[in-house]
Amino acid sequence: ESISIIGVPMDFGQMLRGVDMGPAALRYTGLIPRLRRLGHDVKDEGDIPIPVRDDPAMEGMTDHYVKEITRISHDVYKIGCRVMDQGRMPVFLGGDHAIAIGSVASVAVKEPVGLIWVDAHADFNTPRTSPSGNIHGMPLAVLTGAGYPCLVDAGHPGTKISLDNVVMIGQRDLDPGEKKRIKSSGITIFTMRDIDEQGISAIAAQIMVQFACLKRFHLSLDMDALDPIEAPGVGTPVPGGISYREAHLLMELFADSGKLGSMDLVEINPILDVANKTSKLAVELILSALGKSIL
C-alpha cells in the first residue's frame, strides 16, 4: 500500500491544550519506520500549518474558534484531495476530532464511502444541542449536513456523507439533545452495551454487510473510545471503554475486509498521557489496521 501521513496538530475543537502534540508523539513512537517494516511505501507529508492559539482571558468567552477551524478544514481537505488524486491512502494524525471535517470530506469526493466512527462519544452535536459548544463534539453532525453552515460547506458546499453510510461504535457518553438527534436520524450505532452483548467480531461482520455495496470506508478512530486504563492520554476520558484486545481485533477485521481506504487517529493528548502509553497503543492499532497480524 502507498500511504501518506498527514499531521494536523489542531487543538481548536476543545479547550484543553496539548492535543496539538499528537502528530509529534505518533512520529516519535516510530509510526513511519514501523509501517515501512510492514512493507508499505510511506510518505510523510508533514504537518498542516496551524495558527498559534490565543486563548481569551476569561473562560466561557470563546467563539469556539469556528473561523480558525473552517480555515484549517479547507487546508486538510486540499491536501487530502491531493493525496487521494495520487492514488495514495491518507492517514490523518490529530489533533482533536474536528480535523475529521476536512479529512472525511476529502476522501468522499469521487465516490460514496462508508464512515466508521469509533468513539466514546457520538460527536453528533449541533450548536443547539451541545452543552460545551466545543466543535470536536460536532464533526459527525457537520459531515452529515447539520450545524455551522461554514463548517458544513468546508472544502466544497453541502453534505459530505449520507447517514446510511455511517456507523458508530463504542459510544457511552451522549448529551441529551445529541441522543434525540441520533434516534431520529436512524444512524447505525453500536454502543458499549451492543459490544458487550454481541461481541466486536459480530459487529464488524454486520458493518461489512451494511457496506457491501461500497468500495471502501474511512475509519475515524478517537482514542477515547478505548478504556482510559489503556488510553489515559485523552481530554475527555469515559470509563467502561473498548478493551485492548477488542480494539486490536476490530482493526484486524477492518484490515481483512480489504476496504479500509483512509483513516484518522485523533484526540491523543501527550500532556495527559502516562509514559506515552496512549501513543504506543495508537501506533499498534494503526499497524493492525494496515495489515500487521500475529501469525
Residues lying near ligand ARG in the complex (CB under 6 A): 97, 121, 123, 125, 130, 132, 134, 136-137, 175, 222, 224, 236, 267
* Of 97, 3, 95, residue with least CA distance to 48: 95
Residue nearest to ligand ARG according to CB distances in the complex: 137
Q: Which is nearer to ligand ARG, 125 or 165 (CB)?
A: 125
268-287: contacts with Mn ion (CB under 5 A) = none
Taken in order 232, 235, 238, 242, is the CA torsion positive or negative?
Answer: negative
133 near Mn ion, rule: CB under 5 A: yes
Burial of residue 98 (number of CB atoms within 10 Å: 0-12, 13-18, 19+): buried
119 near Mn ion, rule: CB under 5 A: yes
For residue 136, what are the contacts with CB-CB under 8 A and spacing of at least 6? Answer: 13, 14, 96, 97, 98, 123, 267
Q: Which is nearer to ligand ARG, 66 or 208 (CB)?
A: 66
Three-state DSSP at 164 gives helix
Q: How far is the CB of 86 from ligand ARG (least distance, A)?
A: 29
218 near Mn ion, rule: CB under 5 A: no
* Of 285, 292, 295, 293, residue with least CA distance to 91: 285
Which of 88, 121, 160, 218 is in the footprint of Mn ion by CB under 5 A? 121
Which of 20, 68, 178, 222 is in the footprint of Mn ion by CB under 5 A? 222
Contact 14, 68 (CB under 8 A): no
Three-state DSSP at 40 gives coil
Binding partner at 288 among ligand ARG, Mn ion, none, C-beta below 5 to 8 Å by kind: none
Q: Which residues pair with 44 in a beta bridge?
A: 5
Q: How far is the CB of 171 from ligand ARG (least distance, A)?
A: 10
Whose cell is 484486545? That residue is 245
Q: How far is the CB of 172 from Mn ion (least distance, A)?
A: 10
Q: Which is nearer to Mn ion, 114 or 137 (CB)?
A: 137
Contact 136, 142 (CB under 8 A): no
Q: Which is nearer to ligand ARG, 178 or 252 (CB)?
A: 178
Which residues are designated catalytic? Answer: 97, 119, 121, 123, 136, 222, 224, 267
Q: What residues make contact with Mn ion under the rule CB under 5 A?
A: 97, 119-121, 123, 133, 222, 224
